[in-house]
Amino acid sequence: MKKILIVDDMHPCVQEELQRAGFEVHYRPDIGKEETLAIVSTYQGLLVRSKFFIDAAFLSHAPALEFIGRAGAGVDNVDEAALQQQGVALLNAPEGNRDAVAEHVPAMLLALMNNFRKADRQVREGIWDREGNRGYELMDKKVGIIGFGYMGRAVAKRLSGFQCTVLAYDKYKKDFSSEWVHECSLDRVLDEADVISLHIPLNKDTRFMVDDTFFKKIKKPVWFINSSRGEIVRLASVLRALEQGILRGAALDVLENEKLNTLSPEQREVMQQLAMRDDVLFTPHVAGWTFESYQKISMVLVDKIRNFYSNMKK
């Protein structure tokens, strides 16, 4: 019987369904890295979210490991090269939270374009300012999507209902245009878009790719959204782009440092200035984190684990 260790909080259906499929499952969301290293040698499967980084040193303690399941879309807390070298499969679940992201992104965009943050605060303070909170319509805007994987495609599909022109760029994909998506270059996105939304993974090529140089290439003021990974975007550059009128507003679900009690003095100053702006909207890395996606992610992983072992038998 294959043994699977779960070291993060996950929906109860994971353990139930895996046990039903014939696996021995140990659910230990309370466990730390050192204790995991002490026991992982006997397990064939490991399910994680973001508790710790898995690299070659970690894998040296797990000679029997056959797969790692990442409960979510991103895999930046896993050294993929180290897994390949040891012959360990990597399973993730972007199919599980793409719908959550696809609803969260337009919601943040609409809130930003229609001044919801400022308008709500003012009405609570007894201020009734209609003209000062006049918004923009999303209909017929050009929306640039950078990264056209599961998340980018799902967001584009939702935007089709607003009759937006979707300009999509993906460095690694080709020939994905449709009746409501125009595949194009990054330069075209930066030239024509009214909205730019990021849907790319964090890796050595994308880390802090969105900086002052990136923003200076934008030809007209845009609304900017990041629901991918915080370390893709330099927050200080976002602040400068807002101050310079390059950005009409910024919706940020992720930050370059999400442990707010560990911010450097420079990061803290930038965050304070962004937090005072009505053209900035924050959410705490929850774009893909709904009650529904919590279960969907788990079921996607269960299905992929079943398929992984079914394919091994062929």
Contact between 94 and 69 (Cβ < 8 Å) = no
16 is annotated as an active-site residue: no
C-alpha atoms less than 13 angstroms from C-alpha of 281 in its C-beta half-sphere: 27
Burial of 224 (0-12, 13-18, 19+ CB in 10 A): buried
Catalytic residue among 258, 266, 269, 292: 258
- The C-alpha atoms of residue 100 and residue 90 are separated, in whole angstroms, by 23
Coil, strand or helix at 270 = helix
Catalytic residue among 26, 248, 277, 285: 285
- The C-alpha atoms of residue 199 and residue 287 are separated, in whole angstroms, by 11
Question: Cβ neighbours of residue 20 under 8 Å, at least 6 residues apart?
Answer: none
229 is annotated as an active-site residue: yes
Beta-bridge partner residues of 69: 47, 91
- The C-alpha atoms of residue 38 and residue 36 are separated, in whole angstroms, by 5
256 is annotated as an active-site residue: no
Catalytic residue among 182, 229, 234, 256: 229
**Active-site residues: which are they?**
229, 258, 285
